[in-house]
RNA sequence: UGCCUCAUGGUGUAACGGUAGCACAAUUGACUCUGGAUCAGUUUGUCUAGGUUCAAAUCCUAGUGAGGCAACCA
């Protein structure tokens, strides 16, 4: 028993990314009593995007891995930007991804009283003071990194004087920006964040959560470590740009420790620690809330949940399954290296998931009539089709068949290249699930466009199997002309035309918008497609994965189908190369 | 420039002093009632220069390149 324990403490599992190892080492060493508490701390000032999903998977994932818990906390210390609408949608998105914070929901605003108390304590112990310098003046006093700054004239005023001033700030006696509370640290530190950082500012603004109770609000650098400490968070993970803030984070934790305000859990004093990892970047999109907001406000997209947006809600409407997003987040890994992930990796993860789960249907997007001349005019019959070849339990369905069908115009070629295995005069193809068909002739209009494809079926090939076992290379999809239903579809493509829309700065990114990123068309589908419910996925064979849009559907209850992603198409890839 | 950080195929990541591996992308073939899926194969890499060591992607030194910080935003 004893030796077992020793082995555990000395050999943390040497696998997983660096943050995993960091936590594993703490657990093995018995730090915080071996408990792990993480947190995901969004500011409710925008919608969550795929970059946040990476952080969510990390924060909740590490908690689960070490049998701990992950808090959800609204980091709402700036009333000017935050709202309930954002907070509600953030919660919805996290749940949709499949994570649960249980009873551990927090709001920074709920800790304003304690933050205020800590600020007063700092003033009393001479570690904070009220400064009246204007922002311009302060900029000059703070100085540049290469040389020490200058002390604020208020730096050495007495605690009594500062306390009185701070209380008057709280009482609303001063206008915005005329005064602020600064931590008294080190004006000559090479780390700018140590040069007496502002920890409270005056903002006469109603907070979506606390209303008019406050007119002073804490700054991030002060609030965040307090939030972590008060909640008893053990491991606080954030993105790389906060690396230089870490000494200040630790400074605040030290002060709380001196004040005896750190949480004691099971006899262990919980001292939160911060570590940083690289944020996610994706090709062909932008990931900053600010820029996404610009797209929304300039009507370049249809809102935060436009299926072209890299937001969680946009991807949901596009038809990306939550598991695909989680698998993607796992596969990009956690490092400190600033990298850009190929969008195709995300798409491939989505295809992998949908290939397993989505039912197949036949739909024709660019129809041309195909007539089976040896099939009786008034006859119709039904053929069995497999719903999902990757999942036998999905069963089969019947597809109606008749003399006149629609097929893709692209599936016919007048002068086909040698490796074209589709319709051409004299060639035999398989009509998926139905029969073998040989094209005999076509009818063209005055412009040379094919209006009808004619041919004959092998009457012994019903169901699509060759009676003599001959191989037929090409199989094409079709719908029966008199049975087909018309469905609205939205074909989406990437939002930007270049891998890095910010290649010449964030002010010019809109010029790289892809004008062709949405294409609304009609398609003809087999009748069963009309029965799809909003929120269901489908693969239209040989075309792509589609998602019945939960927001829009027609009066006849046929949904609008958003194209989630195309199928891989090695024929198109090869032929476009030539 | 001051402080902090990072550097492995086209892209992203693994290797924790001992055979540079995996995924995506690219490419060849097999198979196939989706030119999908599946299976098999191929191509491409340790930023540079020194040092320590029997042995370095890994440790040390210097250089180079990239990023972050200098809001009363988070």
A210 touches strand B (CB under 7 A): no
Report pLDDT digits (tens) over A130-171.
999 999 999 999 999 888 999 999 999 999 999 999 999 999
Angstrom distance (rounded) from CA A205 to CA A129? 23
Number of structural domains in chain A? 3
A177 touches strand B (CB under 7 A): yes
A396 touches strand B (CB under 7 A): no
Cα dihedral A79/A84/A89/A90 (nearest 10): 40
C1' of B45 to CA of A326 (Å): 28
Based on the fold, state whether residues A457 and A505 are members of the same structural domain: no
C1' of B42 to CA of A578 (Å): 22
Average pLDDT rounded to a whole number, residues A181-203: 96
Residue pointed to by tokens 């012994």: A460
Instruction: Name the domain boundary from A424, A457, A477.
Output: A477
Q: Which nucleotide is nearest to A386 (CA to C1')?
A: B33
Cα distances (angstroms) measured from residue A188 to each of A53, A139, A143, A192, A424? 39, 14, 9, 9, 80
What length is written for chain A? 578
Based on the fold, state whether residues A221 and A313 are members of the same structural domain: no
Based on the fold, state whether residues A466 and A399 are members of the same structural domain: yes
Residue A392 phi, psi dihedral angles, 5° rounding: -60, -30
A105 touches strand B (CB under 7 A): no
Based on the fold, state whether residues A83 and A179 are members of the same structural domain: yes
Instruction: Name the domain boundary from A241, A259, A277.
Output: A277
Average pLDDT rounded to a whole number, residues A180-206: 96
Based on the fold, state whether residues A427 and A523 are members of the same structural domain: no
Report pLDDT digits (tens) over A498-528.
999 998 888 889 999 999 999 999 999 999 9
Angstrom distance (rounded) from CA A112 to CA A209? 11
Extended beta strands in A180-279, E state = 180-183, 198-202, 216-218, 235-239, 264-265, 268-269, 273-277
Per the structure, the complete domain to which residue A576 belongs is given by: 285-360+488-578
pLDDT score at A551: 87
DSSP A220-232: HHHHHHHHHHHHT
More confident residue, A6 or A90: A90
pLDDT score at A507: 86
pLDDT at position A13 over 70? no
Based on the fold, state whether residues A352 and A367 are members of the same structural domain: no
C1' of B64 to CA of A493 (Å): 40
Based on the fold, state whether residues A501 and A441 are members of the same structural domain: no
Is there a domain that residue A453 lies in?
yes
Query: Binning pLDDT at 50, 70 and 90, where does residue A14 land?
Result: low
Q: Flag residues 467-486 of A with CB < 7 Å from strand B.
A: 471, 473-477
What is the enclosing helix (H) or strand (E) of A386?
strand A380-386
C1' of B59 to CA of A256 (Å): 38
Instruction: Name the domain boundary from A428, A443, A477.
Output: A477
Based on the fold, state whether residues A82 and A14 are members of the same structural domain: yes
**Residue A519 burial (C-beta neighbours within 10 Å; 0-12, 13-18, 19+):** exposed
Average pLDDT rounded to a whole number, residues A18-22: 95
C1' of B21 to CA of A282 (Å): 25
Q: Which nucleotide is nearest to A575 (CA to C1')?
A: B35
Q: Which two tokens stand for residue A519?
A: 């294409």
Angstrom distance (rounded) from CA A47 to CA A304? 7
Based on the fold, state whether residues A61 and A97 are members of the same structural domain: yes
Q: Flag residues 495-514 of A with CB < 7 Å from strand B.
A: none
The CATH number given to whatever domain includes residue A575 is: 2.40.240.10
Three-state helix/strand/coil letters over A152-217? CCCCCCCHHHHHHHHHHHHCCCCCCCCCEEEECCCCCCCCHHHCCCEEEEECCCCECCCECCCCEE
Angstrom distance (rounded) from CA A247 to CA A369? 71
Report pLDDT digits (tens) over A434-466.
999 999 999 999 999 999 999 999 999 999 999
Is there a domain that residue A9 lies in?
yes
Based on the fold, state whether residues A356 and A370 are members of the same structural domain: no
Based on the fold, state whether residues A423 and A373 are members of the same structural domain: yes
How large is the ipTM?
A: 0.95
Based on the fold, state whether residues A228 and A332 are members of the same structural domain: no
């Amino acid at each position: 028993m004893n030796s077992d324990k020793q082995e555990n403490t000395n050999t943390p599992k040497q696998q997983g990314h660096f943050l995993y190892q960091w936590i594993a080492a703490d657990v093995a060493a018995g730090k915080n009593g071996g408990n792990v508490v993480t947190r995901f701390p969004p500011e409710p000032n925008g919608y969550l995007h795929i970059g946040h999903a990476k952080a969510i998977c990390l924060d909740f994932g590490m908690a689960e891995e070490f049998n701990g818990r992950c808090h959800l906390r609204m980091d709402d210390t700036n009333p000017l930007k935050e709202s309930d609408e954002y907070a509600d949608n953030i919660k919805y998105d996290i749940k949709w991804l499949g994570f649960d914070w249980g009873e551990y929901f927090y709001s920074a605003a709920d800790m304003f009283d304690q933050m205020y108390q800590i600020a007063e304590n700092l003033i009393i112990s001479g570690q904070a003071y009220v400064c009246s310098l204007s922002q311009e003046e302060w900029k000059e006093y703070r100085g540049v990194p290469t040389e020490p700054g200058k002390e604020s004239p208020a730096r050495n005023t007495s605690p009594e004087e500062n306390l009185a001033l701070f209380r008057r700030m709280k009482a609303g006696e001063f206008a915005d920006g005329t005064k602020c509370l600064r931590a008294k640290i080190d004006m000559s530190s090479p780390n700018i964040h140590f040069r007496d950082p502002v920890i409270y500012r005056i903002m006469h603004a109603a907070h979506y959560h606390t209303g008019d109770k406050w007119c002073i609000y804490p700054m991030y650098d002060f609030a965040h470590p307090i939030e972590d400490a008060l909640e008893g968070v053990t491991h606080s993970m954030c993105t790389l740009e906060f690396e230089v803030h870490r000494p200040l984070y630790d400074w605040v934790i030290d002060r709380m420790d001196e004040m005896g305000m750190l949480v004691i859990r099971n006899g262990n004093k919980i001292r939160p620690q911060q570590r940083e990892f690289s944020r996610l970047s994706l090709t062909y999109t932008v990931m900053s809330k600010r820029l996404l907001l610009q797209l929304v406000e300039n009507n370049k997209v249809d809102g935060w949940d436009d299926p072209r947006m890299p937001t969680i809600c946009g991807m949901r409407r596009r038809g990306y399954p939550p598991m695909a997003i989680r698998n993607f987040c796992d596969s990009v890994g956690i490092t400190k290296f600033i990298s850009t992930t190929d969008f195709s990796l995300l798409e491939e993860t989505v295809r992998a998931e949908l290939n397993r789960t989505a039912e197949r249907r036949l739909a024709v997007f660019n129809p041309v009539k195909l007539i089976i001349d040896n099939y009786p005019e008034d006859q119709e019959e039904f053929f069995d089709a497999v719903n999902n070849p990757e999942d036998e339990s999905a069963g089969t369905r019947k597809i109606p068949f008749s003399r006149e069908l629609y097929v893709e115009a692209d599936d016919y070629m007048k002068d086909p290249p040698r490796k074209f295995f589709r319709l051409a005069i004299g060639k035999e193809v398989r009509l998926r699930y139905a029969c073998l068909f040989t094209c005999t002739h076509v009818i063209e209009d005055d412009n040379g466009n094919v209006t009808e494809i004619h041919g004959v079926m092998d009457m012994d090939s019903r169901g699509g199997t060759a009676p003599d076992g001959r191989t037929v290379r090409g199989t094409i999809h079709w719908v029966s002309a008199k049975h087909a239903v018309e469905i609205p579809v939205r074909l989406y493509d990437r939002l930007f035309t270049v891998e890095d829309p910010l290649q010449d700065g964030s002010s010019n990114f809109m010029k790289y918008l892809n004008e062709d990123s949405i294409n609304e068309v009609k398609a003809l589908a087999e009748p069963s497609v009309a029965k799809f419910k909003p929120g269901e996925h489908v693969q239209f064979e040989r075309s792509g994965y589609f998602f019945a849009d939960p927001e829009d559907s027609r009066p006849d209850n046929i949904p609008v189908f958003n194209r989630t992603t195309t199928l891989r198409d090695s024929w198109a890839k090869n032929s476009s190369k030539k």
